[in-house]
Amino acid sequence: MKLIECVPNFSEGRRPEIVAAIRDAIAGVAGAHILDTSADASHNRCVITFVAPIDVVADAAFAGIAAARTHIDLTTHSGEHPRMGAADVVPFIPLEGATMEDCIALARTLGERVGRELGIPVFLYERAATRPDRENLADVRRGEFEGLRSDIGRTPQRVPDFGPSAVHPTAGAVAIGARPFLVAYNVYLGPASNMPVAKEVAKAVRGSVGGLKYVKGLGFEVDGQAQVSMNLVDTEKTPLYQAYDMVKMEAEARGVTPTWSELVGLVPERVLFEAAARHVRLRNFTPDMVLERKVRAAITGGESLSEFVGSVASPSPTPGGGSVAAHAGALAAALAQMVAGLTVGKKKYAAFDAEMRELAVRAAGLGHTLAALVARDASAYAVVAAAYKLPAEGDAAQREKVATIDEALLHAAEVPLETARACAQVAELALAVAERGNTNAASDAGVAALLAEAGAVGASYNVRINVNSLSERQRGAALATEAMTLVARTRELAGRTTDIVERSFG
């Protein structure tokens, strides 16, 4: 199932009953699930985050836009944040199993419907933009509602993609698009008297004028405080901690110290883990070291198979081959345990009853180990990716970066090596149940052996690719050698097992 996130921004943050009405309209579409609602009175704006399957997400977004048109009148609206519509911005973000192309298609479908049924002009932006000058939301929204009323349709740049060439009298226009996950992040610089500094800092960090790429920034006065408001449009390439560090540096250069910061809406936990690891200089930190994660996994049993397959299929490097190898090993262990269980208590196999009981317990333990390695492998890669993003200005920083990368790579090689070790043990169990287990389940023993072999070989690839990336390969030579030894052993065991299975067919 393809899942899409939608994060519409509405021009209302002071009347809770209106925010609730819009939220209820979205939630009223079957399959749409509200994740978060954030309202800001100073900005007079709310952000509603929801997820839905790809076949209903546009319907839910349409319901929200229609409700905003009913309840919000921009002719009487005021607030700190730029806006051109009652429903101002409606982006689609690909999640599980979905692609950016899916979101672009959704933006166009929704845009056509909004223009046709609601009479609101629609401008496609970001990845859904039909022209380069509409990729940047700030360019699309220039002049806001008041300016757009006089400019729309007068030049090619101001002709909407869908709908009338005149703003809706009270609901304005809407920008609908597709983008990667965006993090809304604000840093406060003390009292409002520091507003000139906030505006200078916002300009300095803004990617469009030479600051941080993938960062959009503005200076606002919010509740008597000076705020640098940022949208981090690609936190893989410009992490949150890098944005904060630059704001701090630019502010302190002007004699102002940041007082606090805030996130608006939801944020991927990876972003926070990266920031924490960066500022306390953690090495080899992985998300599965977080207690609450372990507790949730233990209580829920982890993600479903369909969720895992969707995660693998997503355009993200994790979970990847290492996790899939561990998953294959876990399935192999489960099959070996099943065959042992089908043997226990049968008179025909009474002589092997005690052995099969013990084997089932061993298989269960290996299955749990390999299931945990699925997540550990993905987490180990995340540490490697974070290490490569460390700054390297100056010789000392470069040396520290190389050392951190090497430590992360070694850890990322050790995790799949554990997978290969476990798969070799599972192959031993598969051979045992093929030799002495219930012959009615011989094919299951054969599949267990083949999966164990695939898991070991796949894990060895991940060991070797990480070792090959070390600045000094000899540091990981022993890991690569052991991985190849385990592959040879697993292949030999799997071959013996499949020979037995083939003979059982006559």
pLDDT of residue 294: 65
Residue-wise pLDDT tens digits, 243-298: 999 999 999 999 999 999 999 877 877 888 888 888 888 887 777 777 766 655 65
Q: What would you report as the CA-atom Rg of the chain, rounded to the nearest whole angstrom?
A: 28
Taking residue 292's Cβ as centre, other Cβ atoms within 10 Å add up to: 7
Strands (E), 158-317: 174-178, 183-191, 215-222, 225-232, 260-264
Residue-wise pLDDT tens digits, 363-385: 998 998 898 898 888 888 888 88
pLDDT of residue 299: 44
Domains and CATH numbers, the chain: 3-178 (3.30.990.10), 183-266 (3.30.70.670), 287-504 (1.20.120.680)
Quote the percentage of the chain above a pLDDT of 90. 67
3-state secondary structure of 123: strand
3-state secondary structure of 71: helix
Residue 203, pLDDT > 80, answer yes
Residue-wise pLDDT tens digits, 382-414: 888 888 888 888 888 888 899 999 999 999 999
Residue 300, pLDDT > 50, answer no
Residue-wise pLDDT tens digits, 135-167: 988 899 988 999 898 888 788 788 999 999 999
Residue 170, pLDDT > 90, answer yes
Residue 305, pLDDT > 90, answer no
Pairing state between β 9-10 and 87-94 = antiparallel
Give the tokens for residue 29.
């579409």
Q: Could you tell me the pTM of the whole model?
A: 0.49
In whole angstroms, give the CA distance from residue 172 to residue 121: 8
The residues annotated as belonging to the active site are 81, 377
